[in-house]
Amino acid sequence: MAQQTLNVATVCTGNICRSPMAEVLLRHLVLEDATLQGRVVVTSAGTARWHVGAPMDPRARGALDRAGFQSPGSLALYADSAYLNAQDLVVVMTREHLHDVKARLRNDATDVLLWRNLSEPGLNLDVSDPYYGDDREFDECLAALRPGGQQLTSVFRQRLGERSHEV
């Protein structure tokens, strides 16, 4: 019998800053966890079409490199209905993204979560967009993503029926 897999998408506006950083972070955390390796597929996309086909912002790549995350991110995608419906879980950066994704989503089995609610439940806080900032703001954005990433690995294990443990 084949093992169950989980398709997970991280979503921001243009898919060149927050969501690709979250994608690389999650891929790293999945690779560190033997119960998740090969069972969780992480991608990212944007609610706007502005940067489709573009690599992540060099400042985002720099923040990842400074933090020791070397794996590449995907080229920017657009989070249309077909993309979203193919996901088991969509994790968005802002309340606006939450609204946009839910309006496009037609698959009732796909869950949508607000990233910061993973580490700060019920506060409905957005992950700030570093796009108009400097390297420091990109580093701060990545730091804001880390706690939610850790929580997501527990969510992944629960959904895949694995025993939860600290990473």
The answer to whether 136 is a known catalytic residue is no
| Helix count and strand count (H, E) for the chain | 5, 4
Catalytic site residue from 104, 129, 146, 159: 129
8 forms beta bridges with 42, 89
The answer to whether 126 is a known catalytic residue is no
Alpha-carbon distances of 94 from 28, 69, 142, 163, rounded to whole Å = 23, 23, 15, 30
Catalytic site residue from 12, 27, 33, 61: 12
Residues 6 or more apart whose CB falls under 8 angstroms from that of 33 comprise 153, 157, 167
Tokens 């802002």, located at residue = 94
Sheet with 89-92, strands from edge to edge, namely: 40-46, 6-12, 89-92, 111-114
The answer to whether 18 is a known catalytic residue is yes
Catalytic site residue from 18, 27, 116, 157: 18
User: Any idea which residues carry the catalytic annotation?
Assistant: 12, 18, 129
